[in-house]
Amino acid sequence: MNRKIQISIFLLSLLLLGGCATITPIRPSKVEKIFEKNYGVGKILFAKVGEPMIRVKDFYVREGPGVQPSDDFFIKAGNFSILGCKDEKYPIVGETKIRNKRFLVIRMIGCIRGRIPRVVGLLIDENGKPYPERLINLEDPFNSYWYSKRISVDPSDLKFHRIKKCVHDKERGYINFEILYTGVSENTLRLLYREYTSKDLARPAFYQTLTYDRKQDIITFKGIKIKVIKADNTGIKYIVLEDPYPKKSEEVESK
């Protein structure tokens, strides 16, 4: 028999024995309201120079189409291995079911014998833990399973966490800023306002220097009224008298 035909029959038999995965789009995740502030109204507070006196976050997030591992990791299944980094973000290609249990399918690139690259789907359960028995061959148009008696995961407590993205909704609004204390001069009290955009929740996109007469004991910015008790180039002692923000966070389901 022609050798190519023999190989084709062998690969087809593996496919039939291994089975195929049905990958469907991921279900919409819930929308969660994030509300945080680093102060309490009516309480005596202290901030050192360079520290935030005021920090407010009030916006909505949704789980995005990606995951991030809790640690650097090494996954091995026979002669196939995946080496991953905790700072890397891995895309979700969909979800599948095994024995009526739902798993997310995470796109990973690994190697056979450390040399031949292959694109596979790592399965993770609802708690973010890798499934220890199967991988999906994403290079196969049928999404065939790669079975293994045991897929070893190091560290054993590795988990993948969904990455959260800000929800752009004009009706819900978006607030994310902080006011830092930067010290005093002879007649001036200085603050720094920093605003963060919804595209990058960790990188400030807008700065504004705020200056007040050092003799003022009440200062106001963005609806926040602050009573200054004492301020020097070591720090500031103050009380937030009032603000326009609520006290509790809430969750709403996506529609």
Does pTM surpass 0.85?
Answer: no
Chain mean position to CA 200? 11
Tell me the pLDDT of the chain averaged across its residues.
84
> What pLDDT is attached to residue 48?
97
Q: What is the pLDDT of residues 18-66, one digit of tens each?
A: 567 788 888 777 788 888 999 999 999 999 999 999 999 988 888 778 9
Range in 1-10, 26-35, 86-95, 98-107 the model is least confident about:
1-10
Query: CB neighbours (10 Å) of residue 131?
Result: 17
- How many Å apart are CA 104 and CA 128, to the nearest integer? 9
What's the confidence (pLDDT) of residue 2? 55
Residue ranges covered by each domain of the chain: 31-62+166-249, 71-158
Q: Is the pLDDT of residue 202 over 80?
A: no
Dist CA 92 CA 34 (whole Å): 23
Of residues 105, 115, 162, the one with CA closest to residue 137: 105
Q: What is the pLDDT at residue 24? A: 85
**Maximal CA-CA distance, the chain:** 97
Instruction: Identify which has the larger pLDDT, 57 or 140.
Output: 57
| pLDDT of res. 30 | 75
Helix (H) or strand (E) holding 19: none
Asked if the model's pLDDT at residue 240 lies above 80, the reply is yes
Query: Which of the four pLDDT bands, split at 50, 70 and 90, describes residue 255?
Result: very low
Contacts 24+ apart (CB under 8 A), 99-102: 101/125, 102/126
Is pLDDT larger for residue 206 or for residue 202? 206
